[in-house]
C-alpha cells in the first residue's frame, strides 16, 4: 500500500495545477487595492490643500486699503478738530508738507488765502500748498506734479466728483497719489474727495448729484479697491441708496459716511472717528442690512466684519509697544 500511496500523491497535486499560483494572484489583488486607495487618499489630500490655499487662516497683506501709508475718508459737512488733527499727524505734524487739490470745487482759481486751507493750518500743518488745474494735459506734466513728489499728505476737499475725474484720472497726478502712499504718506478727502478715493464712483453725473451711478463717470481713483463710497449719508437721507449700485456691482463693499465723520484706513483696518456714523454694506450677506459703526469702532474691510473690542485693544497695545522708526 505504501508504494501505491507514493504514486497517487503526485497525481493529486497534478490534478490541481492552479494551486501553486493562488498566492501571487492574491498578492496582486491586495497590491491593486492598496494602490487604488492610496490614489484616492492623495486626491483627497490635494483637494483639501487647494481649499486651504483658497481660504487661508491669515492674510499676508491688505486687500482693500493701502499696504503703506493711510487714507482719511470723510463724509462732508463740518469736520471737527479730531479729523483734521489726525490727518495732519499722519502727514507729519509740524513737518507735514500737505498739497491741497481743490479741483472738485466750482472756482477756477484758488490762492494761498483760500479759506479751505485754514483748518489744516489750525491743526498744525507746517506747509500747505495748492495744486489745481482743469486741464488733464497739464496734470500729466512732470513739472506740474513736483509738489506731489515731495508731499507727505494730500487733501481733496468737496465739490463735484466729475471735475476730479476730468482733470486727473489716469494722469501723473493720479499716479503720484499711489506713490505717496507707497512711501508712507496719507491721502485724505471729504465729500467728493471721499467718493473719488473708491474704485467705483458714486454721484459722478455732471448734471446732478441725485443720480447714484453714471456710466460715463463710474471709475474712481481706486485708492480703496473694490469699494464704492457715499457721503452726507444720514444728513441727506441716503442710507439705502448704495444698495442700488451694489445690485449692479455685487462684488463691491459699500461704505457710507455721515457728515462730520471719517474712517482712517491702514491696510484693511478702518477706524471710525468723528461725531456720527459710518455704514458698511456687504451685498454677499443673506440679509440686506448695513452695519453701522460709531466713533472708536474698527471695521475689517477685507473680511467685511467689525473688529471685536478685545482685538482692537491688542492692536493698540502692539502699536504702543512697537518702537518707532
The per-residue DSSP string of 272-293 comes to EEESSEEEEE-TTSSS---EEE
User: Rounded distance, CA 94 to CA 75, Å?
Assistant: 25
Grid coordinates of 292: 453701522
196 pLDDT band, cuts 50/70/90, is: very high
Q: Give the residue, 148 or 12, on which the prediction is more confident.
A: 148
Q: Where are the domains of the chain?
A: 70-321
Q: In the block, which residue shows the cell 504514486?
A: 7
Pairing assessment for the beta strands 305-306 and 298-300 based on DSSP bridges: antiparallel
pLDDT in tens, 144-186: 999 999 999 999 999 999 999 999 999 999 999 999 999 999 9
How many CA atoms lie within 13 Å of 134's alpha carbon, on the beta-carbon side?
8
Residues 275-322 pLDDT 10s: 999 999 999 999 999 999 999 999 999 999 999 976 665 554 444 343
Lowest mean pLDDT among 13-17, 128-132, 223-227, 270-274: 13-17
CATH domain 70-321 topology: Rossmann fold (3.40.50)
Rounded to whole angstroms, how far apart are CA atoms 151 and 153? 6
Question: By the 8 A CB rule, do 191 and 257 touch?
Answer: no
Q: Where are the alpha helices (DSSP H) in the chain?
A: 2-14, 22-54, 81-91, 118-122, 136-139, 146-149, 161-168, 172-182, 192-195, 242-248, 309-321
Cα–Cα distance, 64 to 44 (Å, whole number): 33
Q: Kindly report, residue by residue over 57-108, the tens digit of the pLDDT.
A: 344 566 899 999 999 999 999 999 999 999 999 999 999 999 999 999 999 9
pTM of this structure: 0.78
Amino acid at each position: 500500500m505504501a508504494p501505491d500511496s507514493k504514486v497517487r500523491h503526485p497525481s493529486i497535486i497534478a490534478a490541481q495545477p492552479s494551486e501553486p499560483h493562488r498566492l501571487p494572484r492574491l498578492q496582486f489583488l491586495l497590491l491593486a487595492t492598496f494602490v487604488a486607495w492610496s490614489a484616492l487618499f492623495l486626491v483627497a489630500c490635494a483637494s483639501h490643500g487647494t481649499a486651504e490655499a483658497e481660504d487661508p487662516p491669515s492674510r499676508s497683506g491688505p486687500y482693500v486699503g493701502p499696504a503703506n501709508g493711510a487714507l482719511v475718508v470723510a463724509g462732508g459737512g463740518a469736520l471737527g478738530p479730531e479729523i483734521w488733527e489726525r490727518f495732519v499727524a499722519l502727514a507729519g505734524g509740524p513737518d507735514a508738507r500737505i498739497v491741497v487739490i481743490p479741483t472738485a470745487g466750482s472756482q477756477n482759481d484758488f490762492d494761498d488765502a483760500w479759506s479751505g486751507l485754514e483748518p489744516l493750518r489750525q491743526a498744525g500743518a507746517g506747509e500747505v500748498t495748492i495744486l489745481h488745474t482743469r486741464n488733464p494735459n497739464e496734470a500729466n506734466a512732470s513739472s506740474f506734479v513736483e509738489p506731489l513728489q515731495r508731499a507727505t499728505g494730500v487733501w481733496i476737499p468737496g465739490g463735484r466728483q466729475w471735475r476730479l475725474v476730468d482733470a486727473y484720472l489716469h494722469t501723473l497726478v493720479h499716479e503720484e497719489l499711489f506713490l505717496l502712499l507707497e512711501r508712507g504718506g496719507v491721502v485724505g478727502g471729504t465729500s467728493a474727495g471721499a467718493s473719488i478715493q473708491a474704485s467705483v464712483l458714486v454721484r459722478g453725473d455732471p448734471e446732478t448729484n441725485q443720480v447714484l451711478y453714471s456710466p460715463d463717470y463710474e471709475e474712481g481713483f481706486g485708492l480703496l479697491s473694490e469699494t464704492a463710497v457715499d457721503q452726507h449719508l444720514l444728513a441727506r437721507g441716503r442710507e439705502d441708496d448704495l444698495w442700488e449700485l451694489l445690485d449692479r456691482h455685487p462684488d463691491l463693499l459699500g461704505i457710507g459716511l455721515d457728515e462730520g465723520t471719517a474712517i482712517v484706513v491702514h491696510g484693511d483696518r478702518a477706524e471710525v472717528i468723528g461725531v456720527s456714523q459710518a455704514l458698511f454694506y456687504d451685498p454677499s450677506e443673506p440679509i440686506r442690512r448695513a452695519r453701522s459703526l460709531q466713533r472708536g469702532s474698527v471695521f475689517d474691510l477685507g473680511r467685511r466684519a467689525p473688529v471685536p473690542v478685545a482685538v482692537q485693544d491688542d492692536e493698540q497695545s502692539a502699536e504702543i509697544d512697537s518702537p518707532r522708526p
